[in-house]
Amino acid sequence: MDIKHKQIKKQLENRKEIIECAQQLGVVGDPTRLKICYLLCHYPELSVSSIAEILDTSISVVSHSLKKLLKLELVSRRKEAQIVYYSLVSNEFTKTLKGFIV
Protein backbone atom coordinates (compact mmCIF):
# COMPACT_ATOMS: atom_id res chain seq x y z
CA MET A 1 0.00 0.00 0.00
CA ASP A 2 1.48 3.34 -1.00
CA ILE A 3 1.73 6.33 1.32
CA LYS A 4 -1.30 8.10 -0.18
CA HIS A 5 -3.52 5.08 0.41
CA LYS A 6 -2.23 4.81 3.98
CA GLN A 7 -3.12 8.46 4.60
CA ILE A 8 -6.62 7.99 3.18
CA LYS A 9 -7.13 4.82 5.20
CA LYS A 10 -6.07 6.61 8.38
CA GLN A 11 -8.51 9.47 7.64
CA LEU A 12 -11.40 7.01 7.38
CA GLU A 13 -10.59 5.04 10.51
CA ASN A 14 -11.76 7.49 13.11
CA ARG A 15 -14.15 9.76 11.24
CA LYS A 16 -16.80 10.64 13.78
CA GLU A 17 -19.28 11.49 11.02
CA ILE A 18 -18.94 8.09 9.36
CA ILE A 19 -19.31 6.23 12.64
CA GLU A 20 -22.34 8.35 13.62
CA CYS A 21 -24.02 7.84 10.26
CA ALA A 22 -23.48 4.07 10.41
CA GLN A 23 -25.05 3.97 13.87
CA GLN A 24 -28.00 6.09 12.75
CA LEU A 25 -28.57 3.97 9.66
CA GLY A 26 -28.46 0.86 11.80
CA VAL A 27 -31.06 2.24 14.18
CA VAL A 28 -33.49 3.35 11.49
CA GLY A 29 -32.91 0.08 9.64
CA ASP A 30 -35.34 -1.53 12.07
CA PRO A 31 -38.89 -1.47 10.59
CA THR A 32 -40.55 -0.27 13.81
CA ARG A 33 -38.09 2.58 14.30
CA LEU A 34 -38.35 3.53 10.63
CA LYS A 35 -42.14 3.62 10.95
CA ILE A 36 -41.79 5.87 13.99
CA CYS A 37 -39.55 8.21 11.99
CA TYR A 38 -42.08 8.14 9.15
CA LEU A 39 -44.88 9.12 11.53
CA LEU A 40 -42.80 11.92 13.04
CA CYS A 41 -41.98 13.23 9.57
CA HIS A 42 -45.70 13.62 8.88
CA TYR A 43 -46.94 14.48 12.37
CA PRO A 44 -44.41 16.72 14.10
CA GLU A 45 -45.25 15.59 17.64
CA LEU A 46 -46.85 12.37 18.88
CA SER A 47 -47.19 10.72 22.25
CA VAL A 48 -45.87 7.24 22.95
CA SER A 49 -49.39 5.88 23.32
CA SER A 50 -50.50 7.43 20.02
CA ILE A 51 -47.52 5.90 18.20
CA ALA A 52 -48.22 2.50 19.79
CA GLU A 53 -51.88 2.67 18.79
CA ILE A 54 -51.12 3.70 15.20
CA LEU A 55 -48.47 0.99 14.81
CA ASP A 56 -50.69 -1.56 16.56
CA THR A 57 -47.92 -2.51 18.96
CA SER A 58 -47.23 -2.19 22.67
CA ILE A 59 -46.15 0.95 24.46
CA SER A 60 -43.14 -1.03 25.66
CA VAL A 61 -41.96 -1.73 22.08
CA VAL A 62 -42.44 1.91 21.09
CA SER A 63 -40.68 3.19 24.22
CA HIS A 64 -37.74 0.88 23.60
CA SER A 65 -37.49 2.05 19.97
CA LEU A 66 -37.76 5.72 20.95
CA LYS A 67 -35.04 5.25 23.55
CA LYS A 68 -32.65 4.11 20.80
CA LEU A 69 -33.66 7.00 18.53
CA LEU A 70 -33.23 9.42 21.43
CA LYS A 71 -29.77 8.05 22.25
CA LEU A 72 -28.58 8.90 18.73
CA GLU A 73 -30.27 12.31 18.89
CA LEU A 74 -32.75 11.55 16.10
CA VAL A 75 -35.77 12.44 18.24
CA SER A 76 -36.43 14.81 21.10
CA ARG A 77 -39.00 14.52 23.84
CA ARG A 78 -41.22 16.82 25.80
CA LYS A 79 -43.18 15.87 28.88
CA GLU A 80 -46.56 17.37 29.68
CA ALA A 81 -47.99 16.08 32.95
CA GLN A 82 -47.77 12.27 32.58
CA ILE A 83 -47.64 12.26 28.78
CA VAL A 84 -44.35 12.21 26.86
CA TYR A 85 -44.38 13.63 23.33
CA TYR A 86 -41.71 12.90 20.75
CA SER A 87 -40.64 14.79 17.65
CA LEU A 88 -38.00 14.32 15.00
CA VAL A 89 -34.87 16.41 15.52
CA SER A 90 -33.87 18.59 12.60
CA ASN A 91 -30.35 17.67 11.52
CA GLU A 92 -28.63 16.60 8.32
CA PHE A 93 -29.42 12.94 8.87
CA THR A 94 -33.13 13.46 9.54
CA LYS A 95 -33.40 15.84 6.59
CA THR A 96 -31.95 13.12 4.37
CA LEU A 97 -34.21 10.54 5.99
CA LYS A 98 -37.24 12.70 5.25
CA GLY A 99 -36.23 12.75 1.61
CA PHE A 100 -36.34 8.96 1.53
CA ILE A 101 -39.51 8.27 3.49
CA VAL A 102 -41.83 11.18 2.80
**DSSP of the chain:** --HHHHHHHHHHHT-HHHHHHHHHHHHHTSHHHHHHHHHHHHSS-EEHHHHHHHHTS-HHHHHHHHHHHHHTTSEEEEEETTEEEEEE--SHHHHHHHHHH-
Query: Residue 102: what pLDDT?
Result: 60
Query: Residue 55: what pLDDT?
Result: 94
Query: Residue 14: what pLDDT?
Result: 67
CB burial readout 64-77, b (16+ within 10 A) else e: ebbebbeeeebbee
Query: Residue 94: what pLDDT?
Result: 82
| pLDDT string in tens for the chain (102-residue length) | 778 778 877 777 767 777 777 788 888 788 999 889 889 988 989 999 999 999 999 999 999 999 999 998 999 999 999 999 999 998 888 888 777 776
Query: Residue 50: what pLDDT?
Result: 95
The verdict on domain 3-101 having CATH code 3.40.50.2020 is no
